[in-house]
A = this chain, B = another copy of it.
């Protein structure tokens, strides 16, 4: 499972690595994503070189509360996609939270049957703690899998509030997986997931409560939204997964033929905002750190915090 042990040669030139990456070689994929996670100057170089080759894959976001069976479902989705001739990349976003960290590692094991298949690449990515940190590495890791020829990329995220919503701004199709056993599914839905899903999956559909949840979800997402599918699956047996992949592909076709340019535009805009904010935030943070006099003036009540902040911002940023 530890693919990047192959890439021990750290003096290897970037161009050789990128060449191998474009040929879809696993060690280069592993190496490139590790470099992205390190977030150094080399990360920028990789993106600069591969960006123009990217944009050929479709990204499927899979989210939902912990315990909904997302990883088992993703494992079965890989099988269906492979049988249909696709090459499948999986990025499992692992929030740094100590509570959920264990679950994802366990979940990866469930996908292990695909680990030695050359048309499948599975990787978990750790959140870098800083807000928005995972978004940068995740977007760029998707580009790496994309240029390496994985034409369906599944991004699995543990249901951790904000991140779920973020996933839907990165993925082409977002799937929300729910479990009839956990009573708070409807709460989770109400808390914002009703807005983000293209497809809602009631997993563990063979247990009691599944039909009630299915009907609830249908009622909830039906209000004023077109083209939202609600499906039932039993991930452990694979039941309904073929139909799920059909629904994903239908959703993709619909989007690609209908306003996809606008989706891409919004996505680029949102990525630029993230990067610009991140760059400015670093600058301003340094600036505030050296604003001892301003801080003293606020402490002395000579100036209020909003006025002080305004004058710091004005020093860093040019108003037009």
Does A305 contact B268, Cβ atoms closer than 8 Å? yes
Does A44 contact B295, Cβ atoms closer than 8 Å? no
Question: Would A99 and B51 be within 8 Å (CB), given that A272-B288, A272-B305, A288-B269 are in contact?
Answer: no
Expressed in whole angstroms, the minimum distance between the Cβ of A146 and any Cβ of chain B is 12
Does A309 contact B272, Cβ atoms closer than 8 Å? yes
Does A291 contact B272, Cβ atoms closer than 8 Å? yes
Segment among A112-120, A196-204, A296-304 that sits at the interface with chain B: A296-304
Partner of A317, one of B187, B190, B280, B294: B280
A312 adjacent to chain B (CB < 8 Å): yes
A225 adjacent to chain B (CB < 8 Å): no
Interface of A is mostly: helix
A17 adjacent to chain B (CB < 8 Å): no
Chain B residues in 8 Å Cβ range of A269: 288-289, 295
Q: Report Cα–Cα, A308/B51, bound state, in Å.
A: 12
Partner of A301, one of B52, B131, B291, B312: B52
Partner of A298, one of B48, B268, B305: B268
Q: Report Cα–Cα, A223/B271, bound state, in Å.
A: 41
Expressed in whole angstroms, the minimum distance between the Cβ of A273 and any Cβ of chain B is 5
A84 adjacent to chain B (CB < 8 Å): no
Does B288 contact A284, Cβ atoms closer than 8 Å? no
Q: Which of A243-294 contact B (CB under 8 A)?
A: 261, 264-265, 268-269, 271-273, 275-277, 279-281, 283-285, 287-289, 291, 294
Does A275 contact B309, Cβ atoms closer than 8 Å? yes
Q: Which of A29-73 contact B (CB under 8 A)?
A: 44, 47-48, 51-52, 54-55
Partner of A273, one of B54, B99, B285, B307: B285
Q: Report Cα–Cα, A90/B70, bound state, in Å.
A: 43
* Chain A to chain B contacts (Cβ below 8 Å), 7 pairs: A47-B305, A51-B304, A52-B301, A265-B295, A275-B305, A275-B309, A315-B318
* Partner-B contacts on A (CB < 8 A): 44, 47-48, 51-52, 54-55, 97-99, 131, 184, 187, 190-191, 261, 264-265, 268-269, 271-273, 275-277, 279-281, 283-285, 287-289, 291, 294-295, 298-299, 301, 304-310, 312-313, 315-318
Taking A54-B301, A265-B295, A277-B280 as known contacts, 19 extra A-B pairs with beta carbons closer than 8 A to each other, sorted by chain A number, are: A51-B304, A52-B301, A55-B301, A97-B191, A99-B184, A131-B131, A264-B299, A268-B298, A269-B288, A269-B295, A272-B298, A272-B305, A272-B309, A273-B288, A276-B312, A276-B313, A279-B313, A283-B317, A318-B318
